Amino acid sequence: MEYTKLGKTGIDVSRFGLGCMRFPENKADAINMVRYAIDNGVNYIDTAYVYENSEMITGEALQDGYRERIILATKSPIWNIQAHDDFEKYLDEELKRLRMDHIDIYLLHNLNPGNWKAVKKYDGLSFLDKMVKKGKIRYKGFSIHNTVEVFKEIVDIFEWEMAQIQLNILGETYQAGIEGLRYGAKKGLEHLS
């Protein structure tokens, strides 16, 4: 497995990560899949509050010494936020589901126009800084499905350590696209996926 530095975090992550959005229906198969990936060099595991049963299964798979071998990313369910305190309420629920005391990389999930508006309205950025100070998260990030213009606005407004965009070979100009990838690289977020 090859490893690379992840954005501004300075941590080494495997070039291939394991996305836990869709697991096999059989829980034992899902747990075996996660552990197989880790046993074969994958050390970046990505889940989210909204991925059905993913945090619970991932948390179970990371028992028995597997947690210490990986970098875990999960994402805040912005669409559920109705007040500033809700950010931490959902983070605490995620920590419980994952059976952990901290998350390595915590992303504000899917900063589409409505979610980005909620982050600004309920001060989600100061929440991230507070959670780093409390030790509940190590690094601050965001995932986005939005235009390149909004991507640039979000990158410029805060000291992010990681960003996750959707990018594929046939979608160079879709959403943030190649232009967003290059913009993020100039801002120190070199390894967007």
Quote the tokens at residue 20: 């836990």
Residue 27: exposure state from Cβ atoms within 10 A (0-12, 13-18, ≥19): middle
Q: Does the annotation mark 51 as catalytic?
A: yes
Catalytic residue among 44, 49, 51, 122: 51
Q: Sign of the C-alpha dihedral, residues 173, 179, 7, 135?
A: negative
Give the phi and the psi of residue 165 in degrees, each rounded to 5.
-120, 160
- For residue 112, give the nearest of 80, 159, 86, 147 by alpha carbon: 147
Catalytic positions, written as ranges: 51
